[in-house]
Amino acid sequence: MSMNKTPGTTGLVMEEPLLVERSHSGRKSCCLPKLDIEAPDLSEFGDLVRDETEGLPELSEVDLVRHYFRLSQWNYNVESGVYPLGSCTMKHNPKVNEKVCRFAGFTATHPYDPEALVQGNLELLYRLEEALKAVSGFEAITLQPAAGAHGELTAAMMIRAYHVAQGKPRHKVLIPDSAHGTNPATSALAGFSVVEIKTGPEGFLTAEAVADVMDEDTAAVMLTNPNTLGIYEQHIAEIAKIVHDKGGLLYMDGANFNAQMGYMRPGDIDVDAMHFNLHKTFSTPHGGGGPGSGPVGVGKRLVAHLPTPRVVKEGETYRLNYDIPESIGPMRSFYGNFGVNVRALAYMLELGHDGLKAATEMAVLNANYIRARLQDHYKLPYATDTLHECVFSDALQKEHGISNVDISKRLIDFGFHPPTMSFPLIVHGALMIEPTETESKEELDAFCDAFVTMAKEAKENPEIMHSAPHNSFRRRLDETTAARKPVLTWKMLQEDK
């Protein structure tokens, strides 16, 4: 790949001052006509009424538009190119979903509208639950949680309610050392203590490792499947049995569902609860804070504890049922992030069963293509077959003093977003790559070419890697100071000066 073909940054990306720095007294973004009625009397509001809007920037509309547009050009995003952030599934989201979720029938309704006027919206929620049930094999779904981690919390609360209902509250949750960080965080937030289970030498949990620690104070085992190494938990069905025999429940983190659609239904192997990340698997633009949707599917043991309200169908009408005696109650205002749910159903209907299965096949094929092309150049710490992502380490480059940070920074020069780094924690110097199902072979080849070039540079020209990125708008940032002494507002910046 020749350097002049790398996207990098062009001279048209501009430095951008803060809005307060661009402010000019008297500039406005709108022109209102002169008041031609009597001004209202606001005296009853006392001090709250201000003559001056002190400290607010004054700008014209064009100043404002350019400010935000320029800032947006500093960003790399899925529309810019490959975004191989392992575990996050940063894939292309079909634009038709955006169009559908903006239909006035959806956007011009309100959660307080009478049920009779929003039958279509309720039907949509009902049909999405049915579609998610079909693809996962669960008994029921709640669409309320606003993200994956929120789904985990919803399930953890249902699991606690289940044990309380059995008359035997339990206190521990078992989680493998390869878990996503949200899993132990959720368990702790829900009041459980976390016990770690060691991943086996081949990168998956052994049934024995679970049997050794499973006891009658364990509320649940929480597994990510495929796990954060991209490896399928081969003993999951056996683990479900071990856990259930001791009266515990099995939670599966379903963030990686794009590795199993059409091939494996967790409900069929007696998993008790799982969250979906609709914004990952079922195509909603995500990252940067939302919106997301983290529905939870449950098996027979947890149905009674689902959050309120539930959408029910009676004859040809839909209504919301708030009367669920053993429910954990509402987890969010209204019925979840409705717009994300619309996108997810549009995506599922567009693809159908065969299309979702094909998406899984492409996700697995793409990740394995990268694995095959790079395994002679980067260390693959686990040789076991992987599904939708692969985890390399920087061990071979470390011999030349090059770390995973240097590799990720240098990758920016080639026009690609860095992969997930230093995660999972059980791989030292990890580079976790998830290309997703939507990348073409040409993109994957360009991406792999960059990695092959970097492996060569690490040996022959390590300095170019240490000092990378060279083509980006900003050079290497001082991430330690940024984390230890964050300057988050203009006022803090003034105080800092």
Ligand X SMILES: *Cc1c(COP(=O)(O)O)cnc(C)c1O
- Taking contact as CB under 6 A, which single stretch among the options 96-104, 144-152, 238-246, 329-337 is the one that binds ligand X? 144-152
- Contact region with ligand X (CB under 6 A), list: 19-27, 146-154, 337-345, 485-493: 146-154
- Based on the shown chain and the rule CB under 6 A, indicate whether residue 224 belongs to the binding site for ligand X: yes
DSSP bridge pairs for 457: none
| Residues between 180 and 199 with contacts to ligand X, criterion CB under 6 A | 180, 182
Nearer to ligand X, 122 or 190 (CB): 190
Residue closer to ligand X by CB (options 20, 264) is 264
The length of the chain in residues reads 497
Work out the burial of residue 124: count CB atoms within 10 Å of its CB; fewer than 13 is exposed, 13-18 middle, 19 or more buried: buried
- The one segment of 119-127, 143-151, 229-237, 456-464 that binds ligand X by CB under 6 A: 143-151
**Which of 147, 219, 311, 370 touches ligand X by CB under 6 A?**
147
Q: Which of 121, 94, 140, 111 is nearest to 341 (CA)?
A: 121
- The site string for ligand X over 226-265 (x = CB under 6 A, - otherwise) reads ---------------------------x-x----------
Least distance to ligand X, CB of residue 308, Å: 22
Place of tokens 């791989």: 427
Q: Which residue is nearest to ligand X (CB)?
A: 148
Nearer to ligand X, 292 or 429 (CB): 292
Q: Which residues contact 154 (CB under 8 A, 6 or more apart)?
A: 142, 144, 145, 275, 294, 296, 307, 328, 331
| Binding of ligand X by 292 (CB under 6 A) | yes
294 binds ligand X (CB under 6 A): yes
The stretch among 142-150, 190-198, 428-436, 488-496 that binds ligand X (CB under 6 A) is 142-150
Examine residue 285 and tell whether it contacts ligand X (CB under 6 A).
no
Is 90 an interacting residue with respect to ligand X (CB under 6 A)?
A: no
Quickly tell me which residue has 């159908």 as its tokens: 352
Q: Which of 121, 129, 131, 148 binds ligand X (CB under 6 A)?
A: 148
- Give the residue with the Cβ less far from ligand X, 92 or 466: 92
Does 457 engage in binding with ligand X (CB under 6 A)?
Answer: no
Residue placing its CB nearer to ligand X in the complex, 118 or 252: 252
Binding status of residue 410 toward ligand X by CB under 6 A: no
Q: Is 277 an interacting residue with respect to ligand X (CB under 6 A)?
A: yes
Give 149 or 345: the residue with its C-beta nearer to ligand X.
149
> Cβ neighbours of residue 454 under 8 Å, at least 6 residues apart?
407, 410, 411, 465
Residue numbers of the site for ligand X (CB under 6 A)?
87-88, 147-149, 180, 182, 224, 253, 255, 277, 292, 294
